[in-house]
Structure 1
Amino acid sequence: MDNVVYLDYKAKELEHLKSGQKTMIIRGAMGRKLPYGRVNKGDVLYFVENKGDGLIKGKAFVESVFNSEKLTKEQSVEMVEKNQDKLFLAPGQKKRFSGKRYLVLITIKDFKTIEPFQIDRSDYVNMDDWLPVENIEKVKINLLTELGI
């Protein structure tokens, strides 16, 4: 399964993935929402920054996934703190995810920068930060085709 993952531009998440400082992606919510239970070892993550250009610039493989059970605020904060060395979260991100009832921790491997491309988001009406696209080739926009070349 291929997934498009939005990264925090201001927190320089893509740069931290490139440098190897960041090796884990986190998502959290008060309920079980994407990607909870929907991402697995071996899946491919394609990374795009939330700065409006819509360009996918990197990819990595999922090495492992942890979907938490319902957490107390304290357990959630502790889990974020315990994994901060891999998550490499900016203070605002730490605040955002600490205290969520459900956390998904995704360890990645083999990150690489790729030739940037865009995807067709028309099938994804919700503006979520995680899109399970199944096969990236089906949503990849071929710019030459778009230009009629």
Structure 2
Amino acid sequence: MDHVVYLDAKEKELDKFKSGQKSMIIRGAAGRKLPHGRVHPGEVLWFVENSGDGLVRCCATVKKVFSSEKLTEEESQKLISDYQAMLCLTPNQIKRWGGKRYLVLIEVENLQEITPFAVDRSSYGNMDDWLPVDNIERIKNNLSDSCW
């Protein structure tokens, strides 16, 4: 399974992955929302910055996944604190994700920069920041590089 993942351009998440400062993605919500239970080790994540150009710029392999059960606000904050070295979150991001009832932590490896390409989101009605796409080939526009 391939996933298109939008990263926070304002907080320079992609740059942090490239430099090695960051090796983990966080997602959270009040309920079990994507990618909770839908991402697994060995799958490929295709990274897009939410800066408006919509271009996939890097890909990485999922190394480990932790999908939480229902958390208290304190448990949520502690989980973020415990993994902050890998998450490399800014204070704004800690505020955004802290206190969520359900958290998903995804450790990635083998990050590769690729020739940027656009994806066709027309079959995805929601404007979510995580799209499970089965196979990136189905939605790519002129992919000249491959992650593998």
TM-score by length of 1: 0.95
Residue 94 of structure 2 aligns with an amino acid whose one-letter code is: K
Residue aligning to 2:57: 57
Q: Per-residue CA shift, 1:74-106, capped at 9, x if unaligned?
A: 000000011000000111111000000000000
Residue aligning to 2:146: none
Q: Does 1:102 align with 2:139?
A: no
Residue aligning to 2:75: 75
Residue 59 of structure 2 aligns with an amino acid whose one-letter code is: K
Q: Per-residue CA shift, 1:11-70, capped at 9, x if unaligned?
A: 000000000110000000000000000000000000000010000000000001000000
Aligned residues: 143
Residue aligning to 1:121: 121
C-alpha distance in 1 between matches for 2:26 and 2:55: 21
Residue aligning to 1:147: none
C-alpha distance in 1 between matches for 2:92 and 2:124: 27
C-alpha RMSD over aligned residues: 0.8
Q: Does 1:30 align with 2:39?
A: no
Aligned-pair CA distance for 1:142: 2.5
C-alpha distance in 2 between matches for 1:16 and 1:59: 14
C-alpha distance in 2 between matches for 1:65 and 1:44: 13
SS at match of 1:118: strand
SS at match of 2:141: coil
Which runs of at least 4 in structure 1 moved beyond 3 Å after TM superposition?
Answer: none
Gaps of 5+ in 2: 144-148
Residue 128 of structure 1 aligns with an amino acid whose one-letter code is: D
Aligned-pair CA distance for 1:112: 1.1
C-alpha distance in 1 between matches for 2:70 and 2:33: 13
